[in-house]
């Protein structure tokens, strides 16, 4: 999913991952738990409409599992 995103979204994702590494609860990220098909995962904002879904595999081990628009991921 990441490779299918435009370069500017990939760049913005990399910026957000850096911010995430510094403070995973920074207000720009809007880090929050998900429900439904993504129950047990969390999401951060990449842009106004692009989200990145991640799973905490173990303490300190995070894996991003999806990226896309709000409607692509949650519909």
Stretches in the chain below the pLDDT threshold 70: none
Q: Is residue 68 part of a domain?
A: yes
Q: Is residue 2 part of a domain?
A: no
Model-wide pTM > 0.75: yes
CATH number (domain holding residue 48): 3.30.2310.20
> What range defines the domain where residue 67 resides?
7-74
Alpha carbon dihedral 25, 1, 14, 52, in 10-degree steps, equals -10
Residue 60 has a pLDDT of 84
Q: Is residue 50 part of a domain?
A: yes
Number of folded domains that form the chain? 1
Q: Let me know if 13 is exposed, middle or buried by CB neighbors in 10 A (0-12, 13-18, 19+).
A: buried
State residue 67 phi and psi, 5-degree precision.
-145, 140
Residue 64 has a pLDDT of 97
Q: Is residue 38 part of a domain?
A: yes
Residue 32 has, within 13 A of its CA and on its CB side, a CA count of: 8
């Amino acid at each position: 999913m990441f490779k299918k995103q435009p370069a500017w979204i990939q760049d913005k994702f990399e910026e957000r991952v850096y911010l995430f590494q510094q403070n995973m609860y920074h207000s720009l990220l809007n880090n929050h738990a998900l429900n439904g098909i993504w129950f047990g995962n969390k999401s951060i904002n990449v842009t106004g409409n692009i989200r990145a879904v991640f799973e905490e595999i173990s303490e300190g081990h995070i894996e991003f599992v999806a990226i896309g628009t709000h409607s692509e991921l949650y519909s």
